[in-house]
Amino acid sequence: MKIVILSRGPQLYSTQSLLRAGMRRGHQVRIIDHVNCHFTIQKGRMSIFHDGFLVDTPDAIIPRIGSSVTAKGAAVIAQFEAMNMITTVRSMALLQARDKLRCLQKLASCGIDVPKTAYLHNNEHLPAVINQLGGLPVVIKLLESTHGVGVILAETLKTAESTIEVFQKLRERVLLQEFIEESNGADIRVLVVAGKVVAAMKRQAQAGEFRSNLHRGASAEAVRITQQEKNLVIRATKIMGLDIAGVDLLRSERGPLVMEINASPGLEGIETITKVDVAGQVIRYLESRYRLKKEYANQ
């Protein structure tokens, strides 16, 4: 197969791991930067150029799109889709998963348990909203947050008010969420490939910190997840139209909750901690999609 990895960082762990896994399995793999792509659209003729040169049509793409360039990356994926290429993530699924609010709305409306969440435009009804979430403390999240930056625990009404006020001044949209205290600063990252759970790790925040992001110094270990958690994760990824995803769970008193779904999950933490060759599984998933496509074309 000819595989293109869309990545802005050829040296990044995930990009390198996918590159090596593809080459190990005998494929031609090329990395291109989606931000340096342009494309042309005309009836019967769709083309993609990288650094001004026509990209030789691949069989499959592996988009690794950072959150700062989601829209640009999704446009490039959509062009590859229009050219009938196999992709590990479809453009619409990426856009939907990147929008934390839509993601929670869709999951909850399909019967997936998520932390109770509120979205508000101003502080006018804040005490009532906090009550609806079950009272203080509450977690305040920037809709655009990554690596836990912009995730704040507000223990008092005053803190919640002033935090929301600051974010509003900065024209940032925020979510309020019930604080799942019993998760004790831990969450579970579950990796799904081809609609199956392939690896899971538990991340534990440092002492005095509730955010368990590895970028914030959390520790991690491989973990076995329950059948209930597996079923939840698989259903959630199906609802979001993702065959490959990183799903973050919080273990709460009322059972596992889906906190977030990452459509372009990093591989460094999960591969290093669990020793599972996730990149190899991604390549095998592409191979099976490619085989199916060829069989269908030959019918």
Q: How far is the CB of 146 from ligand ADP (least distance, A)?
A: 5
Pick between residue 94 and residue 205 the one whose CB is nearest to ligand ADP: 205
Alpha helices (H) along 210-267: 227-239
Per the CB < 8 A criterion, the answer to whether 234 and 256 are in contact is no
Report the candidate in 15, 30, 61, 67 with the shortest Cα–Cα distance to residue 267. 15
Q: How far is the CB of 84 from ligand ADP (least distance, A)?
A: 33
Instruction: From residue 48, give the alpha-carbon distance in Å to each of 10, 43, 205, 234, 269.
Output: 19, 14, 43, 34, 32
Residues that bind ligand ADP (CB under 6 A): 115, 139, 141, 145-148, 151, 177, 179-180, 183, 187, 205, 210-213, 248, 250, 259-260
Pick between residue 88 and residue 145 the one whose CB is nearest to ligand ADP: 145
Pick between residue 74 and residue 151 the one whose CB is nearest to ligand ADP: 151
Pick between residue 180 and residue 190 the one whose CB is nearest to ligand ADP: 180
Type of residue found at 146:
T
**CA-based angle 84:89:90, to the nearest 5?**
55
Report the candidate in 266, 213, 207, 290 with the shortest Cα–Cα distance to residue 26. 290
Q: How far is the CB of 30 from ligand ADP (least distance, A)?
A: 30
SS3 assignment, position 141: strand
Q: How far is the CB of 86 from ligand ADP (least distance, A)?
A: 28
Pick between residue 16 and residue 213 the one whose CB is nearest to ligand ADP: 213
Pick between residue 51 and residue 181 the one whose CB is nearest to ligand ADP: 181
Q: How far is the CB of 77 from ligand ADP (least distance, A)?
A: 21
Q: How far is the CB of 133 from ligand ADP (least distance, A)?
A: 9
Per-position DSSP letters for 63-117, written without gaps between them: E---GGGHHHHHHHHHHHHHTT-EESS-HHHHHHHH-HHHHHHHHHHTT-----E
